[in-house]
Copies of this chain bind each other. A is one copy, B any other.
Amino acid sequence: MNQQNGLQYRSLLKAELAEVETRLLEVTSAVPSHIAGMLQEIIDSGGKRLRPALVLLSAHLCQAPLMQAIPIAAAIEMLHTATLVHDDLIDGATLRRGKPTLNAHLSATPTVLAGDLLFARAAVMATEAQNLQLVRRFSATLEIICSGELNQFFIGRGHLPTHDEYERRIFSKTASLFALAMETGPHLAGCPAQQIADLARFGALLGSAFQITDDVLDFVSNEATLGKPVGSDLQQGLVTLPVLVYLQQHPEDTRLASLLRDPADAGQLQGFVTDLHTSGAIAATMAIADRRIEEALTLLEPFPITPYRRAIEEIATFAVRRPY
């Protein structure tokens, strides 16, 4: 069950995820032909579709109407795609999931506008579930994501964050959208506020564990799997949880400060990464992610054991056990 292909949600939600794909691709008929093909490629290269899967599973968990969950699933994935389009432009990334990014084909102007258009399309789709409270949460989550990115921009690279700052960053970057995905079901089913809060918390815990795992994989995976060099976050001056955990254990190590001043020093980076590996900081960081998943899973206990609950549990387990 360590492999993406082995995850049950894909077969369990096959028809519904296919409907989500159809809804996502509709945007290509509403844009200038110049970029329709590029957007189709970006949407087709789609990744694991974890966010829409969580929307659909949370709807099943709460017996919410699927006809309403499907547009929200598509809207959340579209919003995610829009943020990636702007992120890749900002980072100057030319490949994502092995495919050229939009900014690899286009100049900044149409890339900005195409991202805006995807945000707008996502917002239109979000209204299709006819649930005002959910639309509001949708827009508020977009605001959290943008605000976090803007904050991150002004903090800049080469900054040593506090643990709280790290948590705020991964919440706005990743966990907030997972939270929104998981609270869709109880919103649509008209569940009590406590149940909405519980599943949102499940999503936030899952999302932050997912991001922590990403940050660990940046140190432990290999370049072929990641598509970027090991330690690339640190190389770009981005300090993540494994480094914070290491520094807590080794406050005397002054190399980080010098690395953040001079990230191009490959030899020093390599030495630091090696010591981080042998220090046990990786395992300690993953233990933090694991505990979040454990806590998250307890929030599912009130729900009946169905294949849908099992699939959510499986995704939660996968989030901290994946090879990439």
Contact = CB atoms under 8 A, between A and B. Distances in A.
Interface of A: 30-32, 34-35, 86, 89-90, 108-110, 112-117, 119-121, 123-124, 126-127, 130-132, 135-136, 138-140, 142-143, 145-147, 149-151, 153-154
B32 A113 contact: no
Given A112-B115, A119-B142, 12 more contacts: A90-B113, A109-B153, A113-B149, A113-B153, A115-B116, A117-B143, A117-B150, A119-B119, A120-B140, A124-B139, A132-B132, A132-B135
A303 B310 CA distance: 59
Given A117-B146, A150-B117, A151-B32, A124 B140 contact: yes
Given A32-B151, A114-B150, A154-B34, A126 B108 contact: no
16 contacts: A30-B143, A30-B147, A32-B150, A110-B150, A112-B112, A116-B119, A116-B146, A117-B143, A119-B119, A119-B146, A120-B139, A120-B145, A120-B146, A121-B143, A130-B132, A132-B132
A149 B114 CA distance: 9
Majority SS at the chain A contact face: helix
Contacts of A121: 143
A238 to B, nearest CB: 15
Contacts of A124: 136, 139-140, 143
A86 B110 contact: no
Nearest to A124: B139
Nearest to A126: B139
Q: Which residue, A115, A140, A150, has most C-beta atoms of chain B within 10 A?
A: A150
A225 to B, nearest CB: 28
Contacts of A86: 112-113, 116
